[in-house]
């Protein structure tokens, strides 16, 4: 059998009967996005790899619990998000470090990098539930209903976590990097780099 051209439904059907070559197709189809999602949750490369590894192994062992009438990706993400949260370390408070350039930095490109890094740092400080929901929504592109299925929370809770997650991001930036908060109010955070030049 030529597994290279196997479609997902057929691969999953073969997986349920223990066809490991078919599962290799599934793993390689999803591993990059799984690693990226896990990295967003854990913030550590090693932990992201461990989480993805655990998730794919658990998904295989429990593949017969997967309902083929439903999409596979949310089911995989349910396992993946649990694995990533388990691997995620408690965030350690970050000092107002010297690595972030002063707001008086004259180079606009450096300011762009600074803004991006600041938002990344703020994301890393969110509670796991909020960060997971933000990642599922804004990175992985799941709908609120799908996120509810993945996380086991109801849709109202998901809406609430999204809302408060965004507020928390703004609060962290306002409290820790007030000069950036002012800039956010005046202009979008993600500036068009071409326009800056």
Q: Which is nearer to another protein, 134 or 148 (CB)?
A: 134
The SS3 call for residue 94 is coil
* Cα 37–Cα 181–Cα 158 angle in degrees, nearest 5: 40
95 burial level (CB within 10 Å; 0-12, 13-18, 19+): exposed
Q: Give which of 112, 135, 140, 127 is closest to 168, Cα–Cα.
A: 127
* CA–centroid distance for 93 within its chain: 21
Q: Which is nearer to another protein, 56 or 74 (CB)?
A: 56
Q: Give which of 112, 128, 121 is closest to 169, Cα–Cα.
A: 121
Find the shortest distance in angstroms from Cβ 173 to another protein.
Answer: 8
Q: Which is nearer to another protein, 60 or 128 (CB)?
A: 60
Q: Which is nearer to another protein, 153 or 170 (CB)?
A: 170
Q: Which is nearer to another protein, 24 or 155 (CB)?
A: 24
Dist. CA 88–CA 91, nearest whole Å = 8
Q: Encoding tokens for residue 68?
A: 């083929």
Find the shortest distance in angstroms from Cβ 134 to another protein.
Answer: 7
Residues lying near another protein in the complex (CB under 8 A) are found at 15-16, 18, 20, 23-24, 27-28, 31-32, 34-40, 43-46, 48-50, 52-54, 56-57, 60-65, 89, 92-94, 97, 99-100, 116-117, 119-121, 123-124, 134-135, 138-139, 166, 169-170, 184, 188-190
184 burial level (CB within 10 Å; 0-12, 13-18, 19+): middle
Find the shortest distance in angstroms from Cβ 149 to another protein.
Answer: 18
Find the shortest distance in angstroms from Cβ 179 to another protein.
Answer: 16
Find the shortest distance in angstroms from Cβ 62 to another protein.
Answer: 6
């Amino acid at each position: 059998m030529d597994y290279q051209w196997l479609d997902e439904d057929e691969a999953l059907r073969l997986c349920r009967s223990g066809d490991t070559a078919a599962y290799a197709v599934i793993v390689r189809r999803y591993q990059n996005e799984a690693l990226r999602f896990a990295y967003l949750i854990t913030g550590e490369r090693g932990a992201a790899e461990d989480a993805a590894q655990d998730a794919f192994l658990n998904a295989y062992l429990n593949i017969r619990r997967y309902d083929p009438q439903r999409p596979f990706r949310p089911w995989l993400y349910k396992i993946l998000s649990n694995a990533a949260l388990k691997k995620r370390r408690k965030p350690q408070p970050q000092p107002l470090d010297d690595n972030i350039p002063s707001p008086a930095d004259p180079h606009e490109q450096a300011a762009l990098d600074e803004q991006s890094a600041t938002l990344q740092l703020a994301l890393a400080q969110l509670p796991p539930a909020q960060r997971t929901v933000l990642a599922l929504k804004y990175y992985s592109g799941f709908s609120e209903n799908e996120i509810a299925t993945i996380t086991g929370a109801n849709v109202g809770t998901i809406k609430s976590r999204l809302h408060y997650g965004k507020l928390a991001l703004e609060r962290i930036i306002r409290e820790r990097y007030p000069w950036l908060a002012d800039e956010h109010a005046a202009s979008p955070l993600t500036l068009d780099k071409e326009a800056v030049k």
